[in-house]
Amino acid sequence: MNADIDQRIANLSPEKRALLEERLAKPTSARSRPALIEHNANQVPVPSYGQEILWALELIENGGARFNISYSFTWRGR
């Protein structure tokens, strides 16, 4: 695979090769890359706003089943 990359770099125009070398010379933090989210197994997940509301309503109603879905629909046609 490295031979393929080397060949592709060798086939670049001088302008594109200069641009590639300029971008590779930048520090890693300056390159555009997605932020990594670290996972900590000891950390409790944070609920979303909607989950917090449902949790609060369940506390107020003493565990009622108001938000359980007990039926379904089948849609037909256009």
Domain-embedded: residue 4: yes
Residue 64 lies in a domain: no
Q: How far apart are CA 12 and CA 20, in angstroms?
A: 9
Mean predicted lDDT score pLDDT of the chain:
80
CA 70 centroid distance within chain: 32
Residue span of the structural domain in which 15 resides: 1-29
Summarize pLDDT for 38-66 with one digit per residue, the tens: 777 787 888 899 889 888 888 887 766 66
**Structural domain count of the chain:** 1
21 is a domain residue: yes
Q: What is the pLDDT of residue 15?
A: 92
Whether 47 is covered by a domain: the verdict is: no
Q: Residue 9 falls within a domain, yes or no?
A: yes
Higher per-residue confidence, 41 vs 21: 21
Tell me how far apart the alpha carbons of residues 57 and 13 are, in angstroms, rounded to a whole number.
64
